[in-house]
Amino acid sequence: MSEKIQMLKEKINQLKKDKDAVLLVHNYQVNEVQEVADFIGDSLELSRKAQNIESKMIIFCGVDFMAETASILNPEKKVILPNLSARCPMAAQLPLKTLLKTKNENPGVPVVLYVNTLAEAKAECDVTCTSANAVQIIQKLDKDKVIFGPDWNLGYYVKKRVSNVELIPVPKYGFCNTHKLFKDGIEALELKKKYPEADLLVHPECDPGFQDNADYVLSTGGMYRHCKESSKKIFIIGTEIGMVDRLRREIPSKTFLPANPNAECPSMKRITLQNTYEALVNEDPIVKVPKEICIKALKPIERMLEMSK
């Protein structure tokens, strides 16, 4: 580890104490940012954590919609995203007007939105979901038809497990650019031939062809638990590369092979140790959701947390 990185880490850890700040870090962050985290997890785990924060300030090392969710859950606290250009392209694929149009075309049909959406869209849905609880939420809703978005591949994953529900996609075809890079998972299948004893774990944002070839389709939180608890020793990881860093660091006795070493989310990687340090010093840039949107968006998030207990 370079001297500069070590110095930044020490300064960040001291500033967190001095300013009563908590650092929430997504599994897709770079290794050195993960190493200064107070809590690392997937979207569901981070939302749960954000619901019960006592510190005065939250530094969110993730992307725009995650910091917004933390702000909606903690309207009185300072929520800081170290780089405002860390925006999730999938969330941007669902503008409010597209959602409202689909709602108008399907009156009375409940709307379930992946948390990977912006606050103004969340404010117009009935309940949010993550890849960890989407199946559970749709089952518990117990409706024949559901408007679901923005991720078409997550919709495929849900539909395979809850076949009696018609999912109306919004937008028509939303996707994650990073998980698209796996395509049908040819490289992962080559690895599986080389290491037949390995478990192939695939994220539900990946294409259906890749999901169908997986041993397990799991959220990143699910992947972590599976790798920790399984008696297997080798795992092929079909998600963003930051997850492989976390697994290698926290479960050193096992082997983790990236299904595609180039599967990097450029938005997540806009957060660095340097801008995290600067965010702590300047207490900026702040993410604040307008009050009226905040009040409306809180309900579907709280409903999700309640329904996935």
Question: Which residues of the chain form contacts with ligand SF4 (CB under 6 A)?
Answer: 28, 63, 88-90, 116, 176-179, 240, 265, 267-268
Q: Nearer to ligand SF4 by C-beta: 89 or 110?
A: 89
CB of 88 to ligand SF4, least distance (A): 3
Q: Nearer to ligand SF4 by C-beta: 65 or 235?
A: 65
CB of 177 to ligand SF4, least distance (A): 5
Q: Which residue has the tokens 């689909």?
A: 102
CB of 65 to ligand SF4, least distance (A): 8
Q: Nearer to ligand SF4 by C-beta: 15 or 155?
A: 155
Between CA 223 and CA 243 the distance in angstroms is 9
Q: Nearer to ligand SF4 by C-beta: 44 or 198?
A: 44
Q: Nearer to ligand SF4 by C-beta: 8 or 128?
A: 128
Q: Nearer to ligand SF4 by C-beta: 16 or 185?
A: 185
Q: Which two tokens stand for residue 284?
A: 């900026």
CB of 81 to ligand SF4, least distance (A): 12
Strand, helix or coil for residue 40: strand
Tell me whether the omega of the peptide bond preceding residue 169 falls within 30 degrees of 0, making it cis.
no
Phi, psi of 75 (to 5 degrees): -60, -20
CB of 284 to ligand SF4, least distance (A): 22
Q: What is the 3-state secondary structure (H, E, C) of 111-161?
A: EEEECCCCHHHHCCCCEEECCCCHHHHHHHHCCCEEEEECEHHHHHHHHHH
Element (H, E) at 180: helix 177-180
Q: Could you tell me which residues come within 8 angstroms of residue 241 by beta carbon, excluding any fewer than 6 positions away?
A: 28, 258, 261, 262, 263, 264
Burial class (CB in 10 A: 0-12, 13-18, 19+), 267: buried
CB of 222 to ligand SF4, least distance (A): 15
